[in-house]
Amino acid sequence: MYSSFESLSAELLFELFDYLSPYDLFRIFINLNSRLNVLVHSYPLRLNFRRISRSKFDFICRHIQPKQVISLILCDEYVPERVKLFLNYFPHFKEEFLYLQSVTLIEAGINTFIDLPLSVSSLTIRSFDTDNDSKTYINEILSQQTKVLTHLKIDNKDLQYLIHIRFPALTHLIILGGHYYGREHIDVSSPLENIDIHSLIQQWQCFLTHLYLVIDNEMRYSIFNLDRFSHCLTHLTLHFHQDIQVSFVCLEQCLIKLFQLTNFTCQANGSWDLIDGKQWEKFILKTQIVRFNFKFECNLIEEISSILESFRSSFWLKERHWYVGCYQDESKTSTIIYSIPRFRIRT
C-alpha cells in the first residue's frame, strides 16, 4: 500500500526534488519502489562535479541515467583526471547524453578529449594552459559544436584559437579577462597580433543578442566598435579593468549605434564625466535602454550631495525609478557611484 507521500503527483515530487542535490536525491529516494525510481530517473539533472568528494562522485555516476542530465560541469582543477573518470563511467558519452544542453569544462585534461553530443548548445571553457596542446584541444571541441552553439563562455586568451571558426547560431557570448592575456603568453606568429577582439567577433558571422565583455588590456580595448551588432544586440555588459581610464564620450560612441540595446551594465574607472547624471539622462533618452546598471569610480572628492544631485531628477527617480548610491574612499581620493540594488559597496 502506498503511503500518502508516495501518492503525491509527479509535479509535486519534482518541486521537492528541486531542493535536493543530485547526491541527496539518489541517496534518499532511489530503490524505494518502482514508481519513485521512474520519477527520480525522469527528473532533469544539473550536475556540478567541480567540488565534490570522490565517494559522492562515484555514487552519482552509478545511479544517474544519462538521458536525464541536461547540464554538466566537469573539472580537473581540484581533482586530477576527474573528466577521465567520468568518461570511464560513460564510454559512449556522445550517444548516451542525448538531452544534454549545457557543458562547462574547467581545466579539463588535454589528453582526455570529450566528444559532445549535438544537443549541447551552451558551452563554457576555462583553461589556464597556453601551450599548443591546449590550443588544439579547445579548437577541436568548439569546431564540433560550431553550427549548434548558441551560448559560449571563454577566456579572452583563448580567442586566438577561434580566428578561423564561424558560429552562425551564437546569440550569447561571455568573454572573461585574465592575467594570462598578454603578448608574452601568445605565440608571436599568431594572427591575433594583427586583430582585435571586436574584429574577431565580427568574423564569426553571428547575430549576438547578449554580450558580456571583460576588458583588461588598455592598449587594445580602450576604444572599440560594436556596430556590427547594431540591429541585434539587446543586452550588453562591459567590465573594464581598473587600470583602464574610460570616458563618457568613449562609452557614448560605443553605444549610440546599438539601436536594439535595452539592457546595459558597466563597471569602469575614468574621468569625472562618467558620474554626470545629466549627460547620461540626455544620452539614454536617445536610446531604447530601459535597464541601466553601473559602478563608476573617479579620482574626485566632492560633497556627496552635490555628486548625487544630477541623479535626482524626475527622469531618474520618477520616470525610470533608478536609484544611485555614492561612496568615497578617502585613502584613494576617489569617488564611487553605483546603481542600487545591482551594486553594493561593502565598507
- Is the pLDDT at 195 greater than 50? The verdict is no
Classify residue 141: in a domain, yes or no: no
Average pLDDT value for residue range 156-174: 84
In degrees and rounded to multiples of 5, residue 237 shows phi and psi of: -125, 125
Q: Does residue 280 belong to any structural domain of this protein? A: yes
- Helix/strand/coil for 152: strand
Whether residue 332 is contained in a domain is answered as yes
Residue 152 belongs to some domain of the structure: no
Strand segments, DSSP code E, in 66-117 are: 69-75, 102-106
Give the pLDDT band of residue 271 (cuts 50, 70, 90).
confident
Alpha-carbon distance of 71 to 45, in angstroms, equals 7
Position 15 in a domain:
no
Between residues 106 and 150, the one the model is more confident about: 150
What's the predicted TM-score (pTM) here?
0.85
Q: How far is CA 5 from the centre of its chain?
A: 39
Q: Whose CA is closest to 157, among 177, 187, 134?
A: 177
**C-alpha of 161 from chain center:** 19
Q: Tell me: pLDDT of 191 over 80.
A: no
Residue 306 lies in a domain: yes
Quote the number of domains for the chain: 1
SS3 readout for 295-339: EEEECCCCCHHHHHHHHCCHHHHHHCCCEEEEEEECCCCEEEEEE
pLDDT by residue (tens digit) across 42-56? Answer: 999 999 998 899 999
Q: Tell me: the pLDDT tens digits for 203-237?
A: 787 889 999 998 876 444 445 678 888 899 999 99
- Residue with the bigger pLDDT between 240 and 72: it is 72
Positive/negative CA dihedral, 198, 270, 212, 321? negative
Residue 70 lies in a domain: no
Domain residues for the domain of 232 are 216-346
